[in-house]
Structures are given as structure tokens and as C-alpha cells.
Amino acid sequence: MLFGGIEAGGTKFVCAVGNENEEIISKLSIPTTTPEDTFRQVYEFFDQYTLAAMGIGSFGPICINEKFDNYGYITTTPKKGWSNIDFLHKVKNHYNIPVYWTTDVNAAAHGELKRGAAIGKSSCLYITIGTGVGAGAVINDEFLEGIHHPEMGHINLKLHPDDTYDGNCIYHSDCFEGLASGPAIENRLDKKSQSLSPRDPFWEIEAYYIAQAIMNYTLVLSPEIVVLGGGVMHQKHLFPMIRKSLKDQLANYVELPNMEEYVVGCDLKDQSGIIGCLLLAEKELRRNLSL
Ligand code: ADP
Ligand code: ZN
């Protein structure tokens, strides 16, 4: 039995086919150009297989609430040409199979929870710090979703006393994403974030923002573990800095596991999202069979 997964990002779509033993048998990365061109290539890839179900983790914002007419759409994305695109039905109508539809970060959270760093837990928060900042939460094995999916990358943060940057979020300027994403770092320092030395004093500021956000999520959601991914988190020296800053900011107010166990990196590397999508495809098939 074969499952399909699409991890849809603003830069690329990662498409994969996996079998019931969770082996990925084929994978293709497609650049995100126009919806027409991108979906043509998506179909071309998956048309080679007979799939039992699919799982999609998409960039957003997307509509995940079935009560709305635009359920299944990418809604108000600033990505040119991609707002108001009925993603889910482009896939569902073409293949006529069960399709699980969620955000890219939820899919990654699911992947890490079931097969990665959060294995054995029933709740987990996955945060990506990359081109954007976003997070997905699983609480008691369910995604945290309400009227919409959460937009945890856009929370307000207290400014670090040494930070004079105004922020680059096109909606809120100095929200979490506006202060701490890869492009925010590069715009603030006028250098590639990859090229900063691990000893650069800026990393204290970055760690402070990430820790402050984790503190807020911890106080609101109480996850069992926080998994950090995305390009910026390739800077491994950030982990001990974030843990220390989180400990300082929390000031022992909540009892948590030791920080090395509470704030961790991805186990599935850059595969958390696509593995999550494949697992969600299987979950959706099981749900449909039990209906
Ligand atoms: P995306 O968010 O587009 O899926 P990534 O998670 O790889 O992709 O994030 C890309 C961003 O992360 C870029 O803005 C880049 O500045 C930053 N980045 C990528 N690799 C590194 C690195 N090794 N160190 C610091 N920043 C990085
Ligand atoms: Zn914002």
C-alpha cells in the first residue's frame, strides 16, 4: 500500500511516496513557482503511483476549519499568486482518495512526535526558525486548532535591551518572526546569518527571543517537549544559550524536565515535515476506514 505526502513550502514542494513499512520509495522537490506550474509537476509525480491516501502540510495561512467555504484553501499568503488557492481540492478531486490537510509546522510536529525527538510523548511543540517563524502544537495527540490554526510566529515579544532593530514582519514589524527569522537577522546585521561567528554577541539576542517565545508557549500550552528546527537552528551553539535564557526568564515558576530534555533539536533533520505528512496520510486512511 502506498501513501503520498506533500510538504508545501513557499520555496519548494517536497513530494514523497512511502509504503506501509514507512519506507520512502520516491521523493521529488519541486520549486514553488505559479500554482499552475507547481501542481502540474505535483500531478506528474504522483500520477505514477496508485496511492491509498495523502497527507499535506502546507505553508499558510491556510483554512483548516471545515465550517468555512474556503476550507482547504491557502488564504491570505503574501506569496504572489498563491492566495485563495484551493489546494486541498486540487489534490482530492484529482486523486479521489482520503487526504489529510494541515499546516507545514503541524505536520513536522506530528513527524517529530511519532518518529523523532518527541517519541513517546503525547504533547509536543515544534518551532521552526527559518525564512519565517512558525510553530505547530500537538496536545494530547491532537493538533491545537480552533477557528484557525495558531500563528505562533507572530506573537509580540519584549525587546532585548541591546536590540535596536525595528523588525521586518510586513504585518507587525517587531513580532517574533519580525525579530528572529533568518531574513530578520540578515536585514538587521547586513550579513548572512550562516556567516556569523558562534561568538558574535548577536546570538545572545536571538537566544533571548527564542527563549522568551518558548516561555510564553510553555505558560499557555504546557507541552511536554519543545522541538526546534529550521535553518537558523543549524547554529547548534544556540541550544545551550536558549536553555539558559529560558531558565532565567522562567525564574523557576514552573517545574519542567531538565532543560536538555525539554528544549531539543529535530531528530528527523529536514524530514520531519514530509515524514509527518506520510504518517498523516496513513492516519486519514484509518479514520476513513473506521467511519
Ligand atoms: P524555509 O524556512 O524557507 O523552509 P530554512 O528553514 O532552511 O528554510 O530557513 C532558511 C533561513 O534560515 C534563511 O533565511 C537563512 O538565513 C537561515 N539559515 C539557513 N541555514 C543557516 C545556518 N546554518 N545558520 C544560520 N542561519 C541559517
Ligand atoms: Zn508578524
Indicate if 60 and 201 belong to the same structural domain. Answer: no
Cell of 221: 500550552
Indicate if 140 and 241 belong to the same structural domain. Answer: yes
Indicate if 255 and 135 belong to the same structural domain. Answer: yes
Ligand with an atom nearest the CA of residue 175:
2
182 lines ligand 1 (CB under 6 A): yes
- Nearest atom in ligand 1 to the alpha carbon of residue 11 is 3
Query: Which domain CATH number covers 238?
Result: 3.30.420.40
Indicate if 151 and 262 belong to the same structural domain. Answer: yes
Report pLDDT for 261.
98
232 lines ligand 1 (CB under 6 A): yes
Report pLDDT for 80.
94
234 lines ligand 1 (CB under 6 A): yes
Indicate if 129 and 226 belong to the same structural domain. Answer: yes
11 lines ligand 1 (CB under 6 A): yes
60 lines ligand 1 (CB under 6 A): no
265 lines ligand 1 (CB under 6 A): no
- Asked whether residue 164 is domain-assigned, the answer is yes
- Provide the whole-model pTM: 0.97
Indicate if 121 and 259 belong to the same structural domain. Answer: yes
- Asked whether residue 128 is domain-assigned, the answer is yes
- Nearest atom in ligand 1 to the alpha carbon of residue 182 is 14
- Nearest atom in ligand 1 to the alpha carbon of residue 230 is 6
Indicate if 48 and 149 belong to the same structural domain. Answer: no
- Asked whether residue 284 is domain-assigned, the answer is no
Distance CA 14, CA 12 (A): 6
| Ligand 1 site-directed mutation target among 13, 105, 126, 131, most atoms within 8 Å of CB | 131
- Asked whether residue 278 is domain-assigned, the answer is no
Report pLDDT for 57.
98
Total count of domains within the chain: 2
The parent domain of residue 38 ranges over: 2-103
- Nearest atom in ligand 1 to the alpha carbon of residue 129 is 6
Indicate if 76 and 175 belong to the same structural domain. Answer: no
Report pLDDT for 291.
80
186 lines ligand 1 (CB under 6 A): yes
Ligand with an atom nearest the CA of residue 230:
1
- Asked whether residue 285 is domain-assigned, the answer is no
- Asked whether residue 30 is domain-assigned, the answer is yes
Cell of 216: 510564553
248-254-257-259 Cα dihedral, nearest 10 degrees: -10
Indicate if 261 and 175 belong to the same structural domain. Answer: yes
Q: For every one of its 291 residues, what pLDDT tens digit does the chain have, with 9 covering 90 and above?
A: 999 999 999 999 999 999 999 999 999 999 999 999 999 999 999 999 999 999 999 999 999 999 999 999 999 998 999 999 999 999 999 999 999 999 999 999 999 999 999 999 999 999 999 999 999 999 998 999 999 999 999 999 999 999 999 999 999 999 999 999 999 999 999 999 999 999 999 999 999 999 999 999 999 999 999 999 999 999 999 999 999 999 999 999 999 999 999 999 999 989 999 999 999 999 999 999 998
Indicate if 29 and 143 belong to the same structural domain. Answer: no
Closest C-alpha to ligand 1, atom 24: 194
- Asked whether residue 111 is domain-assigned, the answer is no
Indicate if 99 and 132 belong to the same structural domain. Answer: no
**Ligand 2 centroid – CA 154 distance (Å):** 4
Indicate if 93 and 144 belong to the same structural domain. Answer: no
- Asked whether residue 225 is domain-assigned, the answer is yes
230 lines ligand 1 (CB under 6 A): yes
